[in-house]
Amino acid sequence: MTAALVQFLLAAAIIAAAGIWLARFADGIAESTGLGRLLTGSLFLAAATSLPEMTVDLNAVGMHLPDIAVGDLLGSSLFNLLILMAVSAFFHVSETPPPHPQRQALAATLSIVLTAVIGAGIVANLDAGFLRAGLFSWLTFLFYLGGLWILFQQPPETGIAQHGTKQRLAASITGYLGCTVAIVLTAPYLAEAADGLARMSGLGHSFIGTTLVALSTSLPELAATIAAFRMNRPELAIGNIFGSNMFNMAMFLPLDWYYPGNLLHAAADVNAVTALGVIFCTAVAVAALLGGPRTSRRAVLTGNALVACSSVAVLLLIYRLHM
């Protein structure tokens, strides 16, 4: 038990450090290319910070633990929302309204659509597939590609222009790839440690996947979000969170390919509860984003508290269903 816990903590620390630097390098890419921080956060930063989920869940699927994989992806989305609410509340200043709330709400809404498709796939209990993957995994991936296309059609936020040098772009890309490699190499140790903790704790793989594994694989998002807000780059942070939640759902397709069977069909129905929790909490976040530029600090904190309470309620319900 102690060895698994130490391994878990060390791997989590390395991944968190890589997440901090990822935010800085992603901001350099956004400024050097002129793509904008929301798009850069939703695509590049989200893909890199979601790599722990991919590597951990590939290991879990290889060990025939579908509930660890499914619970981790949905639980990570839930923890990502908690991260965004907590960090944004800490850095919120009422005189500075959130920039471009409609663009951010669009990314959030796309993540709701993808999560809803996965939740439907879990409760449908349909063992139909195509090319080694389930029908709902394919639908989610196609919706993900469509969502990225919609985000690409949005103009970059005001103040973003391509003004970085080639040297800065090269350095940002090199640093981005270096942090990505560090995450890829470290994340598999989380799967091994989490599986050991799940077996020794007796809480079950669905609960451990939704809590402990999901919390640890969300560490890059936590580190990157804090770093982005400290750099006064809220769109980069928000794009990272909602883009990560979109990417989490898109990852069901490669995991379904790798799994010897239909992944969503094999997952326990309790995972659909987590999906519903993610959808509800994201909807609350959208309401907060669209509250307008005059949204008070009290209103922001109320929305954040509602998301936090809802997330805790979902976790308690999942725990209760395992008792």
Tokens of 74: 């949905």
Q: What string of DSSP letters covers 44-90?
A: IIHHHHTHHHHHHHHHHHHTT-HHHHHHHHHHHHHHHHHHHHHHHHH
Tens-digit pLDDT profile for residues 49-102: 777 777 777 877 877 878 778 887 888 888 888 888 778 777 754 444 455 667
What is residue 129's DSSP assignment?
E
Q: How far is it between the farthest Cα atoms of the chain?
A: 58
Q: What is the token pair recorded at 47?
A: 């893909």
CA distance 193 to 60: 11
Q: Pull the structure tokens for residue 151.
A: 């985000």
- As a whole number of angstroms, the distance between CA 140 and CA 252 comes to 8
Render pLDDT for 1-25 as a digit per residue (tens, 0 to 9).
677 778 878 887 787 788 778 777 8
Distance of CA 1 to CAs 125, 193, 210, 215, 219, Å?
35, 9, 20, 19, 22
Q: Measured between alpha carbons, how far is 42 from 33 in angstroms, rounded to an integer?
A: 15
Between CA 64 and CA 59 the distance in angstroms is 9
Q: Which of 85, 6, 60, 41 is nearest to 210 (CA)?
A: 60
Q: Which domains are seen in the chain, by residue range? A: 2-321 (1.20.1420.30)
CB contact burial 156-180 (16+ within 10 A = b; e otherwise)? bbeebeeebeeeebeebbebbeebb
Average pLDDT over every residue of 144-165: 69
**What confidence score (pLDDT) does residue 296 get?**
54
Query: What are the tens digits of pLDDT across the range 158-186?
Result: 555 455 567 777 888 888 888 888 887 88
